[in-house]
Amino acid sequence: MTQQKSADKNLQNEVKRLDVEGVNAHNAQQLNQDLNDRKHMDALNRDTTTRQ
């Protein structure tokens, strides 16, 4: 079995996301919406059912 030299990239990204805190409810909602938009665009970019 191979050993990893660094931490899992998904884990690193999750830690970074948790480090970013919204100052208030509006700011936190904006940060969450940005994350959701990125996930949606990633899903659209990976979707091969609509390409010709």
What is the DSSP annotation of 1-52? -PPPSS--HHHHHHHHHHH---SSHHHHHHHHHHHHHHHHHHHHHH--SS--
**pTM of the shown model:** 0.50
Per the listing, tokens 């919406």 go with 33
Nearest to 19 by CA among 30, 31, 36: 31
22 neighbors 30 (Cβ within 8 angstroms)? yes
**What's the average pLDDT block by block, 10 residues per block, for the chain (52 residues)?**
73 77 82 89 82 56
- The pLDDT score that the predictor gives to residue 22 is 65
